[in-house]
Amino acid sequence: MGVRLPQLRKLAKRLARENWQGYLIQDWGTSFEEVLLQGMILGYAKGTWEQRLQAVTAYLPQIRNWSICDSFCSSLKMPKENPQGFWEYLSPLRDAQEEFTVRFAVVMLLNYYRSPEYYSRCIAYLDGVRHPGYYAKMAVAWALSLFYCSFPQETMAYFADSSLDREILYRALCKIIESHSITSQQREEIREYRGQFSAPGDTRV
Given a cut of 90, whether residue 5 has pLDDT beyond it is no
- Residue 192: C-alpha distances to residues 43, 140, 148, 169, 185 (Å): 42, 21, 16, 14, 11
pLDDT band at 25; cut points 50, 70, 90 = low
What is the largest distance, in Å, between two alpha-carbon atoms of the chain?
56
On average, the pLDDT of the chain sits at 91
Q: Where are the domains of the chain?
A: 1-62, 66-205
Find, among 137, 165, 143, the residue nearest to 155 by Cα: 143
Cα Rg of the chain (Å, integer): 18
Rounded to whole angstroms, the Cα distance separating 167 from 45 reads 38
Find, among 126, 195, 192, 134, the residue nearest to 162 by Cα: 126
User: Contact at 8 Å (CB) between 72 and 39?
Assistant: yes
CATH for 66-205? 1.25.40
- Reading phi first (left if > 0) and then psi (alpha if -120 to 50, else beta), residue 2 is in left
pLDDT on residue 104: 98
Find, among 40, 106, 192, 198, the residue nearest to 114 by Cα: 106
**Which of these ranges, 38-47, 79-88, 143-152, has the smallest mean pLDDT?**
38-47
